[in-house]
Structure 1
Amino acid sequence: MLISVGLLGLVIGGLTGLLGAGGGILAVPALVYLVGIPLGTAISTSLVMGAVGPVAALLPRLRAGIQWQTVLAVSAAGIPAAFVGTLAGASLPENVVLLAFAVLMIAAGIQMLRSRPRGKDTVICPKLWLVRGLAVGVLVGFLTGLLGIGGGFITVPALMLILGLPIGLAIGSSLVIAVINSLAGIIAHAGTTSPDWAVAVAFVVPAMAAALVSAQLSKQVSGQVLQRSFAILVLVVAAITIIRVILTATTS
């Protein structure tokens, strides 16, 4: 089992380093359906992965790949929202939440495909950026607490479409936000569910190695290719989520 978890870590770590996302939204269903651990344990374990896994991908981006003022604004709203999302997760039907999440991803993916990609470092500061940043933080933090994900699949498109960040800065900033939100999610879930530490370690070690390598490779990829690749990945994950919800509904 741990070998399968390690291979999963390589794949997700590579996606995290390259695109700034791919962790929780893929890890939670994989842990439940492939590894066979309960959903609550999978969410807690995924949060540990989300707090540690992106660190390696951050290292090559620390100097010029992160917009710290955006990170602070988003995180300030995201931390309390993660606690609210955790409480909501105890009362809302899982399929309803997943469908809403999938619809949100489809809208973001389509908009990213339609938007003209900018250079990796071309920043367009929108009006009311602080208000927009706080709104993004509420959305991403809530999803972190609700679904046990770092939020990269929503954070990256939101930072680009709502706050005007180019793909390069959106990816780097999203990684920092994912770590902060995951830590808040771990605290919010404390006392309700516990991580599977053996699975978490087996995942994190190869994930960090893969993320470090892919983060270096991402510097050689154009902003246009990164944006379109991310948009396609978002749409694929949304489709898989919808199929999963339908199959679950028909078999229950």
Structure 2
Amino acid sequence: MIAAIVFGLVVGALLGLVGGGGSILAVPALVYGVGMPLSAAVPSSLLVVGSSSAIAVLPRLRKAVDWPLALIMGASGAATAFAGTAVNKMLDQKILLLVFALLMVLAGIRMLLPTTPREGRDRTPDGRIRWGRYLPKALATGTIVGFLTGLLGVGGGFLIVPALVLVLGLTMARSVGTSLVIIVINSIGGLASHWGRLDLDWGVTGAFAICAMAASFLAGRLGRNLPDVVLKRGFAVLVLIVAAYVAYMALAA
């Protein structure tokens, strides 16, 4: 139970600070830190990350969420989460954990590289969306992230935030808030796809979720005052460390 509390605080803090990353740590934390089997860790992670993201987005609801983009990506992602879950049932756990580690490495490296936000590129001077350019990119990004949500039990924030900045041109501040809304939608879709075969330790999952929600709310308020570069680099290093550990444990199993 102590492990669930500690990891819940870490996962919630990451979600609140950078709009992602909590889910990429939640699965290995539940598997190796708490001792859950992967089959239970995936839906538990979705429950924890979805509820924590809903709390973390509260301080950002008014000014830091691109609602059209969040709803488009969330809807397309929730649909493909079911396909990811179907593939999850067909693959060996070791393969899934190695894929998970690879994605963590790629995400960590990408977050260490500089980014140049280009907000407004898909909008007219008066603020209206250029749907011909905007919609295809939003749908494609949401579809990929949703599939990974079902496959690996992640909310997708570690992919959503870079995609929002690099592909869709949002600033980091709006990417964080928008990412949290998309994670909530994706987590609901992913959890629904597991609903018929849930076998969770509700005591451990509940403790993990409550601590994550409390930490995400506090970190969300704190994160608005910290430099983006500090948060991104610190998170990237942490992700790379965890990726190495997950890969080692998977290969040694």
Which bracket does the TM-score occupy, shorter chain normalised? 0.7 to 0.9
Corresponding residue number in structure 2 for 1:185: 190
Alignment partner, residue 12 of structure 1: 11
Q: Aligned equivalents of 2:232 and 2:66: distance in 1? A: 18
Contact persistence 2:23–2:45 (CA under 8 A): yes
Deviations 1:167-200 (A, max 9, x none): 1111111111111111111110111233322122
Amino acid at match of 1:199: V
Residue 216 (str. 1) matches residue 221 (str. 2): yes
Contact in 1 for aligned 2:66/2:178 (Cα 8 Å): yes
User: What's the % identity of the aligned pairs?
Assistant: 45
Q: How many residues are paired up? A: 244
* Residue 125 (str. 1) matches residue 130 (str. 2): no
Shift of the 108–161 alpha-carbon distance from structure 1 to 2, 3 Å rule, reads: farther
The worse-fitting range, judged by mean Cα deviation, of 195-204 and 108-117 is: 108-117
> Could you tell me whether the CA contact under 8 Å between 2:107 and 2:158 is conserved in 1?
no
Alignment match, 1:204: 209
Instruction: Give 1:234 shift.
Output: 4.0
2:115–2:166 CA contact under 8 A, matched in 1? no
4+ runs deviating over 6 angstroms = none
Q: Which residues in structure 2 correspond to 1:51-90 (within 5 Å)? A: 51-90=50-89
Q: Relative to 1, partners in 2 of residues 1:68 and 1:144: Cα closer, same or farther, differing over 3 Å?
A: same
Is contact 2:157-2:179 (8 Å) kept? Answer: yes
Q: TM-score, normalised by structure 2?
A: 0.86
Q: How does 1:31-110 map to 2 (within 5 A)?
A: 31-110=30-109
Q: Closer, same or farther in 2 for the Cα pair 1:79/1:247, shift >3 Å?
A: same
Q: Distance in 1 between matches of 2:101 and 2:34?
A: 23
Instruction: Give the whole-Å Cα distance in 2 for the aligned partners of 1:228 and 1:193.
Output: 36
Q: Is the 8 A contact 1:153 1:234 kept in 2?
A: no
Give 1:31 deviation, angstroms.
1.5
Residue pairs, 1:147-186, within 5 angstroms: 147-186=152-191
Q: Which amino acid aligns with 2:219?
A: S
> Residues 3 and 103 from structure 1, CA distance in 2 versus in 1: closer, same or farther, beyond 3 angstroms?
closer
- Assess, with a 3 A threshold, how the Cα gap between structure 1 residues 34 and 223 changes in structure 2: closer, same or farther: closer
Please report the RMSD computed on the Cα atoms of aligned residues, expressed in angstroms. 2.2
SS at 1:72 equivalent: helix
8 Å contact 1:83–1:188 — kept in the other structure?
yes
Q: CA deviation at 1:207?
A: 1.4
CA distance in 1, matches of 2:249, 2:113: 27
Q: Is the 8 A contact 2:67 2:178 kept in 1?
A: yes
- Structure 2 unaligned spans of 5+: 123-131
Distance 1:237 1:139 in 2: 23
Q: How far apart are 1:13 and its partner, in Å?
A: 1.0
Q: 1:191 to 1:133 in 2, by over 3 A?
A: same
TM-score (normalised: structure 1): 0.87
